[in-house]
Amino acid sequence: MTSLATSETYTAGLSRDQLLAAYRTMLLSRRIDDREVQLKRQNKIFFQISGAGHEAVLTAAGMVLRPGHDWFYLYYRDRALCLQLGMSAVDMLYSAVGAARDPNSGGRQMPSHWGSTALNIVSTSSPTGTQFLQAVGTAEATMRNEVMDGARGTEVTLVTTGDGTTSEGEFWESLNTACNLNLPIVYLVEDNGYAISVPVEVGTAGGSISRLVKGFPGLYIQEVDGCDLLASYEVMERAVRYARERQGPAFVHAKVIRPYSHSLSDDETMYRPAEEREADAERDPLRTFPAWLVEHGFATDEDLAVIADGVEAELLQATDDALAAAQPDASTVYHAVYSPEVDPTGEQFDTEDDPQFSGSETTMVELLNQCMRDEMRRNPRILMFGEDVADASRADVLEKVKGKGGVFKVTHGLQKEFGSNRVYNSPLAEANIVGRAIGLALRGFKPVVEIQFFDYIWPAFMQIRDELATMRWRSNNAFAAPVVIRTTYGGYIRGGVFHSQTGASLFTHTPGLRVVCPSNALDASGLLRTAIRCEDPVLFLEHKHLYRQTYNKAMNPGPNFMIPFGKARVAREGTDVTVVTYGATVQRALAAANQMADEGVSAEVIDLRTLSPWDKETVFASIRKTNRVIVGYEDAQSWGYGAEIAAAIADECFAYLDAPVMRVASTDTFVGYAPQLEDATLPQQETFRQAYRKIVAY
């Protein structure tokens, strides 16, 4: 482990002014921590977590990297790095008090959740480990820009972490892709020996993460005493140069200390003995570095006192300013849940009444493929990746084979037309797909990614729920990741429990995410085009049972055909009962309605098309006409998507109802493989017919 500050002459090439400026950054970082601790104890702020003990390596990293040019995915202990990059003390204290003018999040996030568009510090979140794959996506953007522009990029992506977070699976997924693609990314592991109360040897085999990652090809690995500014500067300079020169990813394992508890919600004396804490205190960079400066003639005690006085004066003014700052107005809570500038429910996305049909009727698969082809021709920043979406990963066989193009052939031929830089396969890792897509989107790309089966989307749920959907809101509209996630959905294919899953309500329950589920080829084309052109993240549910049905075919509506989100389609008009449904149950509801017409029952069938937002106006207007309503959906009945529709109807249309709201849904079980089990589980045409009879008889 490199440690060089003991040398009397070694300065890592830094001048006296640079050394003193570095000390000032380190001291200011520690004093902000101390001031926040004081404010928390005075109940003037609501949370505090410190970067104490990490200041030396973080200041060194900030001296080496380029704010506003390089990209930064940080974690909550990175105060000194942010100060060195250009963030101010008052910026940090605005965050601590939750001020409206907090530049990190406008008071929406807890303190130490950094974010700055000017500095390229991507909005930091609380989940541990989600930053890695996003950072890889941002570094990947550099590589893909190079292919498009023909010039080598010089930016580097830095991703930081504590030692405990390296136990997360996404850490390992990210290293796999970073090394596989030879990306310009630097990992900085700030190892203070603990993940809250869990010591490093409990979470990491052998107690050293740098030893564990040595098998990754092309990964430049360095260990350093992260309490030593000079050694840290030298190691960070080498690591960043390695990545900037495009030799591959770099990995710096910095041994630091944690002189304060994990946070003010923690008491480390409950699990750390006094002698261990005293040993850490001997390594404290705020003790050792100023002593070194004096010992080697770079500063006098008076020089250090002047620096300390300047820090205190800055901190006093920053504290006064922060405590006087206004809090966010409660009315702003809805701002930037979705894009304030681009509204996919608006008229600019409604060309449904003017289709430019051509060719013969074809399937949903073909129209989805054509839509993506048209959009990729229109927008060179669209990227498509996922498992098996490419025609062939190996370039030497691409012209010799027909091409895969997805397990359902939805992306067939796109790689051959647009090249392997824009259409490519991912590892078999769903979080990898979505996390990288977020990082690419933050660099201006438009990722349209595929999760092969909805049943396997769950490893990506953290990235979708806590990262993708929150990015715009948590950053107060500073950052956004308008990713489109396509995934196959639903049953009726004899797919059993693991190829038949639904569960849209888990995603419609997520603010910031649009959820779409077309029932026919024409709607699929128009809605996918809207999804790609809008500025919000979209989950696009493609029901695999509907991919090649003959009853839902359509002609190609042209390259500008769009259907706005939140606009339902009245699939069948009626007067006696309203059926609200979507996806594969639309056809079953229609068939049953046609049968019931022979019994004198007139059913109006509404296809929602988009699940979030949903078209309340069309649904409520129909109910006011029919006075009876059935909500049909393929998910399990209890706590499913239809429950929210039913509740809204009860809230706003109760006076118009002549019967209770009914639901037609799947049983509260899993979907069986045997035909009789699947048929008993999923809503059938006969299920709807029985519901019609029951509700009109009420």
pLDDT tens, 94-110? 999 999 999 999 999 99
Query: For residue 343, which amino acid is it?
Result: D
User: Two tokens at 395?
Assistant: 């370039």
Alpha-helical regions (H) of 89-130: 89-97
What's residue 139's pLDDT? 98
Question: What is the pLDDT averaged over residues 228-232?
Answer: 97
Token pair 């930016």: residue:
155
CA–CA separation, 169 vs 454, rounded Å?
A: 20
User: Two tokens at 379?
Assistant: 């927008």
Q: Annotated active-site positions, please?
A: 499
User: Two tokens at 662?
Assistant: 């009914």
What's residue 355's pLDDT? 96
Question: What is the pLDDT averaged over residues 117-122?
Answer: 98
Whether the pLDDT of residue 221 is over 50: the answer is yes
Residue 384 contacts residue 448 (beta carbons within 8 Å): yes
For residue 411, what are the contacts with CB-CB under 8 A and spacing of at least 6?
Answer: 369, 372, 384, 389, 390, 405, 423, 450
Instruction: Kindly give the pairing relationship between strand 198-199 and strand 194-195.
Output: antiparallel
Q: What is the CA radius of gyration of the chain?
A: 29
Question: What is the pLDDT averaged over residues 634-650?
Answer: 95
Residue 630 contacts residue 662 (beta carbons within 8 Å): yes
What's residue 8's pLDDT? 54
Q: Give the pLDDT band of residue 610 (cuts 50, 70, 90).
A: very high
Distances in whole angstroms, Cα of residue 681 to Cα of each of 501, 663, 673, 675, 677:
12, 14, 11, 10, 6
Sign of the dihedral through C-alpha 365, 369, 372, 374: negative
Q: Please, what is the average pLDDT of the chain?
A: 96
Q: What phi, psi does 186 have (nearest 5°)?
A: -120, 125
What's residue 206's pLDDT? 94
For 297, counting Cβ atoms within 10 Å of its Cβ (0-12 exposed, 13-18 middle, 19+ buried), the class is exposed
Q: For 288, which DSSP code? A: H
CA–CA separation, 22 vs 588, rounded Å?
A: 70
Token pair 């073909």: residue:
366
Q: What phi, psi does 479 have (nearest 5°)?
A: -125, 150
Residue 460 contacts residue 397 (beta carbons within 8 Å): no
Whether the pLDDT of residue 9 is over 70: the answer is no
Q: How many Cα atoms occupy the beta-carbon half-sphere of 5 within 13 Å?
A: 24
What's residue 2's pLDDT? 52
What's residue 263's pLDDT? 84
Can you list the domains of the chain with their CATH numbers? 16-332 (3.40.50.970), 358-556 (3.40.50.970), 569-696 (3.40.50.920)
Secondary structure element (H or E) that encloses residue 596, with its range: helix 585-597
* Digit-coded pLDDT (tens) for 300-350: 999 999 999 999 999 999 999 999 999 999 999 999 999 999 999 999 999
The conformational region for residue 98 under phi > 0 = left, psi -120 to 50 = alpha, else beta, is left
Residue 293 contacts residue 236 (beta carbons within 8 Å): no
Residue from 617, 599, 600 nearest 608 by CA: 617
What's residue 4's pLDDT? 45
Strands (E) in 514-639, as ranges, are 514-516, 538-543, 554-556, 569-572, 577-581, 603-607, 610-612, 629-636
What's residue 6's pLDDT? 47
Q: Give the pLDDT band of residue 5 (cuts 50, 70, 90).
A: very low
User: Two tokens at 626?
Assistant: 């029919």
Q: Give the pLDDT band of residue 1 (cuts 50, 70, 90).
A: low
Tell me whether the omega of the peptide bond preceding residue 427 falls within 30 degrees of 0, making it cis. no
Question: What is the pLDDT averaged over residues 619-632?
Answer: 98
Distances in whole angstroms, Cα of residue 201 to Cα of each of 257, 258, 270, 407:
15, 16, 18, 43
